[in-house]
């Protein structure tokens, strides 16, 4: 993997990230394909809106269909017909989200499957093995993600354990074309984030992520902490903010110097009749859209906006038709990826702050 910074505008960065399955223009948003699918969309649809890299998940894919099966069928790229880059999350977020069904020690995390209650042990070494079987281009180390309101003792222990697990992941990894990213934890405490980063940076990972945001804190608290936290990460390596978020969150993070993003929000919102546009969020079930012949967003060239009216989308959701969630998910991904392309262009042209202000003014309403 190679990463080259092409331009900066303040702390915002435009770069090129080269992987075994292609080169990615950053900043970039990664659609979430947790179970080897971006929900409701074909890979061709996802490529068609400009996605350059997608995300899969270690925990879910080892439960079903199984990482060894995927390996035997040619790896995750072949299995899901996605020839472009893939990043796999290690399962660390499940350490957080399945709190009622897991036990954590320095050795690893033991889960009760959310599918059948069966026991699954996820150690750093196992997380590496699964991701090597999947054959992703970028593999995340296993970390412990504490909640935003964790006590200082819990937070410090999570940082200590995340550092320990990162070193074990680094030692165990052998895949010749897959790279690992480390994850910096520490919540909203920049000093704790600095301690974690200072321990991880000497391990010389090819990339670094900020985990443990959007886990219960207020958005403005995250926004306030991001610039200092991003500055802790090496400037010559890609920086990834995990699991965030809304369009305004993405631009605030780009302004802080972040390069990579993922979040289920655009597709989850699309499945729930909520669309993102330049003029704010659109709740397509609202009665005002029943007779509206206009597209979801004027000027958007996605299939949804080019071919269908708000009235038709309103009908699809009211009738319970599967096409409604598909079209809104497609539009929302197109919108997020357009946002990143335009942000990149603004960085290269030295007008990112102006671009960010214009976007934020437009997002003030909900229809």
Q: Are 125 and 192 in contact (CB under 8 A)?
A: no
**Is-catalytic flag, 89?**
yes
* Whether the Cβ atoms of residue 92 and residue 182 lie closer than 8 Å to each other: no
DSSP secondary structure string for all residues of 142-160: P-----TT--HHHHHHHHH
Catalytic residue status for 9: no
Structure tokens, 27: 């900043």
Centroid of chain to Cα 143: 16
Place of tokens 């958005």: 219
Nearest to 333 by CA among 24, 34, 46: 46
The answer to whether 273 and 267 have CB atoms below 8 angstroms apart is no
Give the chain's count of helices (H) and strands (E).
Answer: 15, 16
Q: Rounded to an integer, what distance in angstroms lies between the CA atom of residue 57 and that of residue 334?
A: 22
**Contact at 8 Å (CB) between 262 and 29?**
yes
CA distance 48 to 119: 39
Choosing from 9, 67, 89, 259, the catalytic residue is 89
Measuring CA to CA, how many Å separate 70 from each of 36, 216, 355? 10, 34, 42
Interatomic CA distance for residues 17 and 184, integer angstroms: 20
**Contact between 181 and 112 (Cβ < 8 Å):** no
Instruction: From 364, 340, 265, select the one nearest 31 (Cα to Cα).
Output: 265
Integer-rounded Cα Rg, in Å, for the chain is 20
CA–CA dist 138, 17 (Å, integer): 11
Residues designated as active site:
89, 262
């Amino acid at each position: 993997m190679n990463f080259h910074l092409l331009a900066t505008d303040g702390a915002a960065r435009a770069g090129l990230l080269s992987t075994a399955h292609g080169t990615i223009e950053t900043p970039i948003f990664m659609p979430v394909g947790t179970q080897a699918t971006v929900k409701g969309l074909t890979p061709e649809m996802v490529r068609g809106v400009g996605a350059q890299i997608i995300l899969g998940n270690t925990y879910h894919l080892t439960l079903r269909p199984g990482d060894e099966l995927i390996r035997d069928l040619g790896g995750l790229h072949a299995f899901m017909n996605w020839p472009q880059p893939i990043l796999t999350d290690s399962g660390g977020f499940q350490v957080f989200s399945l709190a009622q069904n897991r036990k954590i020690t320095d050795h690893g995390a033991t889960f009760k499957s959310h599918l059948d209650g069966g026991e699954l042990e996820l150690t750093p070494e196992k997380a590496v093995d699964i991701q090597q079987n999947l054959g992703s281009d970028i593999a995340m180390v296993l970390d412990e993600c504490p909640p935003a309101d964790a006590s200082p003792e819990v937070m410090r222990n999570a940082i200590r354990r995340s550092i320990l697990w990162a070193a074990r992941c680094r030692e165990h990894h052998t895949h010749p074309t897959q790279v690992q990213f480390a994850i910096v934890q520490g919540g909203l405490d920049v000093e704790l984030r600095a301690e974690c980063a200072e321990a991880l940076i000497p391990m010389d990972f090819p990339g670094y992520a900020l985990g443990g945001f959007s886990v219960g804190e207020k958005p403005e608290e995250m926004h306030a902490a991001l610039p200092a936290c991003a500055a802790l990460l090496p400037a010559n390596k890609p920086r990834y903010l995990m699991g965030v978020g809304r369009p305004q969150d993405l631009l605030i993070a780009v302004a802080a110097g972040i390069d990579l993003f993922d979040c289920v929000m655009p597709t989850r919102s699309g499945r729930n009749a909520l669309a993102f546009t330049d003029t704010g969020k659109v709740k397509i079930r609202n009665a005002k859209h029943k007779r509206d012949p206009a597209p979801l967003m004027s000027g958007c060239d996605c299939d949804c906006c080019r071919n269908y009216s708000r009235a038709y989308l309103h009908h699809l959701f009211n009738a319970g038709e599967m096409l409604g969630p598909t079209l809104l998910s497609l539009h929302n991904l197109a919108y997020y990826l357009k946002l990143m392309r335009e942000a990149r262009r603004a960085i290269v042209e030295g007008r990112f702050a102006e671009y960010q202000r214009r976007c934020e003014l437009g997002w003030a309403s909900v229809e």
